[in-house]
Amino acid sequence: MLRILIETPVPLDLKGLLVTAAAQLSSKVDADRAADEVLEYSLDRLKGYYEDKGVPADSVEAVLATGGTMPSDIDRRVQAVETFRKLPEAAALSAANKRIRNILRKSGQDLGAQTVAPGLLVEPAEQRLSARIAEATLAVAPMQARQDYSGVLKVLAGLRGDVDVFFDAVMVMADDEALRRNRLVLLGSLHALFLSVADISVLQ
């Protein structure tokens, strides 16, 4: 089934299909549990499918980490990650996303849907990064709509220099609570942009 959904391609949500199928057997099985177990098994099989095509497991894991369940869309994202990995900025941005993920986890703060407060951007490096993230967000919106994930990651690769300067010049965990929280929100917005395609922090 996965091969058909990917290679045709058929834009069908695998989870939806399994939930519908399990509901027809609800008198015999725990429908919700059965659908979840078969979905997990099916998505895990994708690693083998892509391994046969020479795609490393971490490229697949990076995409599955976003929670997508439409095989045809997953495939577009996997191909985009493979293209991204060939860019000179890929390794540094993967490392930066690992760092961001760890900072956000260790902060213990629930940032929710907060947005960056421009008035709290006091360092030139964070002002620049914030502006570049805003530009990138606008630039990738139409690409995301047409599932041009390679285009999205190519745009985001252009942020590499500003991300490097930010980490060199800005102390994220500042003593001032407002500044610290604003910087966490800024990094969270950057991480979310990458997560719109894949979690590149898992790339080795």
How does pLDDT run across 45-59, given as a tens digit for each residue?
Answer: 898 999 999 999 999
Residues 72 and 98 in one domain: no
How many structural domains are present in the chain?
A: 2
Pick from 23, 52, 77: which residue ends a domain?
77
Q: Which domain holds residue 166?
A: 90-202
User: What distance in Å separates the CA atoms of residue 178 and residue 116, rounded to the nearest whole number?
Assistant: 11
| 133, two tokens | 């993230």
**pLDDT tens across 144-203, in order?**
999 999 999 999 999 999 999 999 999 999 999 999 999 999 999 999 999 999 999 999
What are 28-87's pLDDT values in tens digits? Answer: 656 667 778 888 888 888 989 999 999 999 999 999 999 999 999 999 999 999 999 999
Q: Does 57 fall in a domain?
A: yes
Residue 160, in any domain of the structure: yes
Per the CB < 8 A criterion, the answer to whether 69 and 172 are in contact is no
The whole-angstrom separation of Cα 168 and Cα 190 is 17
Q: Does residue 122 sit in the same domain as residue 185?
A: yes
Residue that finishes a domain, picked among 55, 77, 99: 77
**Domain end point (choices 77, 104, 120):** 77
- Residue 16 has what pLDDT? 84
